[in-house]
Amino acid sequence: MPYRAPVDDYTFLFDHVVGLGQVVKTDRFSEATSDVTAAILTEAGKLSEDIMAPLQRPGDLHPARLENGVVRTSPGYADGYKAIAEGGWVGIAADPEYGGMGLPMTVTTAVNEMMSAACLSLQLAPLMSQGQIEALEHHASDAIKELYLPRLISGEWTGTMNLTEPQAGSDVGALTSKAEDNGDGTFSVTGQKIYISWGDNDFTDNVCHLVLARLPGAPAGTKGISLFLVPRNLPDENGNAGVANSLKVVSLEHKMGLHGSPTCVMQYDGATGWLVGPEGGGMAAMFTMMNNARLGVGGQGVGAAEGAYQHALAYALERKQGKTKGETGTIIDHADVRRMLMGMKADVFAARAIALSCAVAIDMTTATGDAEWKARAAFLTPIAKAFGTEVGMDVAHQGVQIHGGMGFVEETGAAQYSRDVRVTAIYEGTNGIQAMDLVARKMMDGGEAANRLLDEIEEHAEAAKEQFPDLADAVWQASESLREATDWLNGQGDLQDRFAGAVPYLKAFARVLGGHVHLKAAVADAGGAREKLARFYIQRLLPEHVGLLAHAQAGAGDLYALSVDELAA
């Protein structure tokens, strides 16, 4: 069956699980009423279903290519991007002063997820622009804002982020790109950047690069890094894209997936740029963009999972194989196929709810400036990114399995979801880095943000015990186990002991959060499909937290028990 935007799921989550209502009650987002939100979701769903989904396979079969120094995009992508831009979807959360809709990040997250499910390669283009828009809103000068933001928000121009270099991946402080002051308010930027998503295209007038580089005499490491806005074409006196800047696309990466999205090696040879933020403030400014992107990438994982699930469900409803006693006569009646489909659907719901909960915390921070909301948003961001992308990979993997041998055949389209989503666990900070951030930086408060979340989970479980005693007790007990593990991690002075169990701890936290949101759904839909799905998740998937927490509290000793020679033997 073709992709169907799960608008009803978002509406249910907004109303009954993640608490969008509290966001709308603030002055900042008071115009995002249920009627407005419903209209936005419906229109974004139509765009995703009718315009973007048909571009999924063409982008895979006909990748972007570099031709005489110009990136040529996949068939139909220009029209697809035009529809995104003209619909105002690039600037959905951007400041209305510069042409944005000013809607909550929660609504933006839902829209971006739908677009990711429909065509992840193309969705990356507006996602990159959205991150740049937010960075410029927070850190750029008024002159830069006035020139660039309206054009980025309208989609007339697109934006990128340039961090990685051949020798400086996750260790951004090792970069060697340099910038020199021209004495006229501009800087000359020189260096090479790799893995630049949508570093160029053939359907917008300009591409604006945010580039990390080091000024002369700047200290080593991240403290010496500054951020520069370097456009492909220099704006003329009227603000239009003018002459070409001194930069070029050297090559496009030959990737496992996301073939429709050009991933560029960029070369800057004294290219003209403008400083964004203070000298040495590059990482602070870039983290604004990266944190936006981390939630967005988590949503990409959920979107890919939704697309893969729908693709697998359609096949299971059609494929006849073996004897069945169910209602359809197809493989969907087999117990193991049902196990996979139920697990896929339950995990998509959990990951989607976690991402939207993170977005609500971001919106409440924006609207109120409250420190507790800010801490919650920071705490949930690595969980939303890592769990969302892990679910994306797992669901896409199960989708191939449901297709059987045909899943290994490219023509069915099942493998594309698995190939496309795989990189989401790597970019914007690998999932291992997300987990290390969770157990280190995000635990610098002594576990306060974590424990406030656990308090809420247990309070809701207590309230739900009369209605669903078995489900509520399971969630409450899991939360207590997670609290004990959190206390253990906070008691470890050696960060290696924390880092050794960081990934299983993050997944355990996500599992418990998943139980919490499913219990909320069961309470709101007692006797309905959502209660049935919650029972599956809480009874079959939530118990995984036990083994994960045992792993999380094992320390680092056994990881180093084998010498390097023994590992290689």
Q: What's the helix, strand, coil split of the chain in %, to 5?
A: 60, 15, 25
Q: How far apart are CA 79 and CA 293, in angstroms?
A: 24
Confidence (pLDDT) at 1: 60
Q: How far apart are CA 256 and CA 36, in angstroms?
A: 39
Give the chain's domains with CATH numbers. 431-558 (1.20.120)
- Among 255, 110, 151, 263, smallest CA distance to 201 is for 263
The single-letter code of the amino acid at 185 is G
Confidence (pLDDT) at 411: 95
Four-CA torsion 402, 347, 349, 405, nearest 10 degrees: -10
The single-letter code of the amino acid at 457 is I
CB 139 within 8 A of CB 281: yes
CB 417 within 8 A of CB 307: yes
165 DSSP 8-state letter:
B
The whole-number mean pLDDT for each consecutive block of 10 residues of the chain, a chain of 569 residues, reads 93 98 98 96 98 97 95 98 98 97 98 98 97 94 98 98 86 88 97 97 97 93 93 96 97 98 98 96 80 91 98 96 83 96 98 98 96 96 98 98 97 97 95 97 95 98 98 98 97 95 98 98 98 98 98 96 96
Q: How far apart are CA 426 and CA 392, in angstroms?
A: 13
Q: How far apart are CA 201 and CA 157, in angstroms?
A: 10
The single-letter code of the amino acid at 216 is P
The H-or-E segment that residue 43 falls in is helix 34-46
Pairing verdict, β 233-235 and 241-244: antiparallel
Q: How far apart are CA 319 and CA 331, in angstroms?
A: 6
Confidence (pLDDT) at 322: 85
The gap between the terminal CA atoms of the chain, to the nearest Å, is: 50
Confidence (pLDDT) at 455: 98
Q: Tell me the CA distances in angstroms from 513 to 122, 347, 466, 504, 527, one per residue in order.
A: 31, 11, 20, 14, 22
Show the tokens assigned to 269.
């040879």
466 DSSP 8-state letter:
T
- Among 202, 226, 193, 194, smallest CA distance to 212 is for 226
The dihedral sign for the CA sequence 434, 438, 439, 442: positive
* Catalytic option among 428, 456, 459, 462: 428
- Among 345, 254, 249, 355, smallest CA distance to 301 is for 355
Q: How far apart are CA 323 and CA 182, in angstroms?
A: 76
CB 282 within 8 A of CB 210: no
411 annotated active-site: no
What count of other Cβ atoms lies within 10 Å of the Cβ of residue 329? 11
